[in-house]
Structure 1
Amino acid sequence: MSNLKKTIAVAEMSYIIRKGLVYSLSQLPIVEKVVEWKDLENLSAQSIALRPDAIVINPMVLGRISKSEIRQRLKLDKKMVVIALVYNMIDEQFYRSYDAVIRINDSEANIENILTNALKNGNSSGSGQDDLSERETEILKSLVKGMSNKEIADHHNISIHTVITHRRNIARKLEIHSVSGLTIYAIINKLVDVNDVKY
């Protein structure tokens, strides 16, 4: 992370939570400017115009979507850090794709550490996390539908060794190492329908 102070955008519908977070962030030494995004209709245009270094967003404002979907829908710069603002009970797996998570009950020191680390480490998907290739996405879909390695190999006309390599890459990129975790990821990211999953 460079020594320059950063611009942070806050996207949150609740007035009191948004104002409190904007104030808290503006007090941090690494933050030069905090921009409020209260008009969710124009988030994409605001993102292009203001080019913040990071966005702190309640994933629910756009309907419980993942970081990659937020990035697509808002046309966010690939380098922008996306931080989830969490104040309700949702499965932790949902937030794994975000660069960082700020919880409503975090202390000022904790928020500063989270923000500093997220900005220092940059966008994790830029380093390969969360960016599955088309083939890896297809393998993941087959896997969560309950297919064995042999069935996946036959279905995609590839060797079992290649299937295993793809599975390793998927686990490494997503940092999810169980089929149940991958299933939750696939459902949340709308890669598969709940009805397609084999229990």
Structure 2
Amino acid sequence: MKQVNFILAVESYLVRKGMAVVLQRIPGASVVKEFGSVDLLTRYLEHHGMDFLIISDTLFANATDLYMNNPALLERTILLNRDPSAEDRGKKTRGCISLSEEKEEIISKINELLNPYFRDYRANTHGSLTDREKTIVRLLSMGLTNRQIADRLFLSTHTVTTHRKNIIHKLGIKSVSGLTVYAIVNNIITIDEVTSKHER
């Protein structure tokens, strides 16, 4: 599974950096570019792509031309509101998050907004893993090595390696970070279980 690439368009440097830190807590999320103005954002999008745009309500209000020229961009836009009572502005977009929310609430809401993005991927792959393979994906997402997984499941490391090869073949995902995103999106592991692993 590919990385989920975000662009941040927020006029405040501190808010941009804060959102970048929050997005780092989401496995597979990557901030590819940050902008403080609509002009720079528009010029960049003329030549580059992205998966999602997180834009402040102020810049969104000034980006009429950008969205008129590219209406499909609305489906890839997450509105960042300073005022939680202004959520109705986000009805045109994929959704909105509020600056007044706690970090964990923002992470949860972004994951919720990303779920439909992965729906087709889940439909094509989730049912193809065996229960044992799902268990191994879960343990890999928790940071266990092949040896630790083998010990926990009373298997040989060779058997765990074979399961991993089968998982790679079925999903086309080679990296542990990619498997972690897959596991979260497919409810094999929760974001809290993954983030608590990184906080130890």
Scaled by the length of structure 1, what TM-score is found? 0.49
Structure with a larger share of its residues in helix? 2
Scaled by the length of structure 2, what TM-score is found? 0.49
